Amino acid sequence: MPSLFSGYRLGGLSLPNRTVMAPMGRVRAAAGGLATPSMATYYAQRATAGLIITEGIQPSLIGQSNPGTPGLHTDEQRDSWRQVTEAVHVNGGRVFAQIMHGGRVSHPETTGFQPVGPSAVAGAGSVFTPSGPRPMPVPRALPTDEVADHVHSYAHAARRAVDAGFDGVELHGANGYLISQFLSSNANLRDDRYGGSIAHRIRFAVEAAAATVEAVGATRTGIRLSPGGGIWDAVEDDAVELNTALLTELARLDLAYVHLEGTADEDTLLRLRHAWPGTLVVSPTMPGGAKRTGKSEADHWLGLGADLIAFGRAFLANPDLVERLRTGLPLAPVDEDTFYQGGDDGYITYPSYRHTA
């Protein structure tokens, strides 16, 4: 069984260990969706991870889900990210940008637009807006001839990401956002080539991945999936069959990796491991759940065939997480009140472990 601390070759990158910093929204971008010096510090502090995957970055204004999130759809946004990638690289790290189109998980108060989705079906629950939580609105169903614009928005953002110095990109195909909505059996009620059968519902995800591969190369393109997760009310009634078909098609593209979240039982995830011949990143625990991924969960999944292990909240309060895991040092607790409050407190103020005499 490989060690969490052994090296790994990911495309053109040599990773010093198998830990991945999972993408986590922190809503601290400047006006206009710009990356900031504090964001550069935040990611640079965690550069000992084998790979950093950034928070979700919108590929278009209409694709923005929450207020305060960064973008990669303007040249100014691209230029603002260079301070982040340079800081990570100077500190010896590697970083992928997660490209995240919110689809129906958005609000006109945030973007100025009616959200879009595969069908005019509102999700359950509330979304964040500049004036507080609001019920998810009914999205505008994308006409067939407009779908391609949103497919290619991922590729356009990926080009800007690579131009900004990112080592690659991860398409956010999980957690109820746009790609996940097209995969869903209740958010996608279309009867054209993007809806109905499994072969049609996976088409948007495959086309987005293929367009991104064409834009920046397969070794720079990964995708994150949440099999059967049901997050933001995007249900997959046929999760095993659906995701197996999707992985079969994605395998033809020879992507850098697939990133599976722990949203399904172990047997389901193992079946998907067998369906995917390439590098597999696993987030062992449910996003936002009570349990935090630790070394025992990481070792368990490495033994089951995962290649890389993504850690989420543990990286927030422990910028030196890799060293703490390596040496058995205690992990600092995270202050959940500072997750999304803005400012530097609870963002770049967590120290590395301090030994006492």
Give pLDDT tens digits for 292-316. Answer: 788 999 999 999 999 999 999 999 9
| CA 192 from centroid of its chain's CA atoms | 28
Indicate the DSSP class of residue 337. Answer: G
What's the Cα-to-Cα distance from 74 to each of 125, 164, 246, 314, rounded to whole Å?
Answer: 31, 12, 31, 32
What's the Cα-to-Cα distance from 310 to each of 84, 283, 313, rounded to whole Å?
Answer: 20, 5, 10
CB 151 within 8 A of CB 103: no
**340 is annotated as an active-site residue:** no
- 13/51 Cα distance (integer angstroms): 9
Helix pair angle (37-45, 75-90), 10° resolution: 30
pTM of the model: 0.97
Query: Would the pLDDT of 334 be above 60?
Result: yes
Give pLDDT tens digits for 58-103. Answer: 999 999 999 999 999 999 999 999 999 999 999 999 999 999 999 9
- 290/341 Cα distance (integer angstroms): 20
State the catalytic residue, choosing from 42, 154, 177, 257: 177
| CATH architecture group of domain 8-338 | Alpha-Beta Barrel (3.20)
CB 145 within 8 A of CB 132: no
Give pLDDT tens digits for 5-59. Answer: 999 999 999 999 999 999 999 999 999 999 999 999 999 999 999 999 999 999 9
What's the Cα-to-Cα distance from 248 to each of 141, 174, 238, 243, 245, rounded to whole Å?
Answer: 28, 17, 16, 8, 5
- 220/335 Cα distance (integer angstroms): 33
CB 107 within 8 A of CB 115: yes
